[in-house]
A and B are shown apart, each in its own frame.
Chain A
Amino acid sequence: MSERTKFVILLIVFLLSLGLLALLNSSYGNVLSI
């Protein structure tokens, strides 16, 4: 696997991780879940 392909995969995983963090934080912060 080339370094370029690894970079694309890692970038996707990184963005998914950020998305997960944002999603979890919003679910803890809404009114229903205090």
Chain B
Amino acid sequence: MSVNFRVANNALTALIVVINAYVIAAPLLPQASFWVSQKYGGGQQAVAAQIVDRVAQAPQLTVTGPNKLIIPAMLLDQPIVEGPISQTYANLKKGIWRWPSGSSPDKGGNTVLLGHRFTYDQPKGSLYFMHKLAIGDTIALNWQGKQHIYEVSEIKTVPPDQTDILKPTADSRLTIYTCTPLWKPVDRLVVVAKEVL
């Protein structure tokens, strides 16, 4: 009987170590994979270069495929999820969600996109690398067959109750936000990009 308890205790100890190691390390796993690829692979730069080329070659041209967001600085190329506010959680699980009460690129005004930065079941959220964006970076948004080009004009951190970022605007812009900081998501990291093409 004592032997059985000993085996069970060893197994439980191993499980406890694995679970807690994951709790601590999971927020850093995407960053680590990004760093390794940059240092040893070179693949990430090639992907970024391809995205930049594609953005540069096709401003305002007809594009095919789903509505999607392309951000070379984040190596991001993902479809945009549409869905009602009542299904916020499910929408965010699928990827980058367009806030349905906001505008859309074809109408101008304030198009609002949001996505997870990090969750324990999906450590690399769609907007995990949003902190890599800088003023002047290019963002492309393929929307209903047309590519819209935006340039980052503002980056700020706001508390969750500061909802003025969702308000309509006179100019055509993109407001993208996610949670920050990575370890304790109490605020929102907001990137505002104005349409240039």
Contacts and interface: CB of A to CB of B under 8 A. Distances in A.
- Pairing of A with B: yes
Interface of A: 2-4, 6-7, 10-11, 13-14, 17-18, 20-21, 24-25, 27-34
Interface residues of B, number: 32
Contacts of B119: 25, 28-29
Interface of B: 2, 5-6, 8-9, 12-13, 15-16, 19-20, 22-23, 88-89, 92-93, 114-121, 160, 177-179, 185-186, 188
A31 B119 CA distance: 12
Contact of B89 (A6, A21, A31): A31
A3 to B, nearest CB: 4
Contacts, number: 70
Given A17-B19, A24-B120, A25-B121, A34 B8 contact: no
Q: Is the interface of A mostly helix, strand, loop or mixed?
A: helix
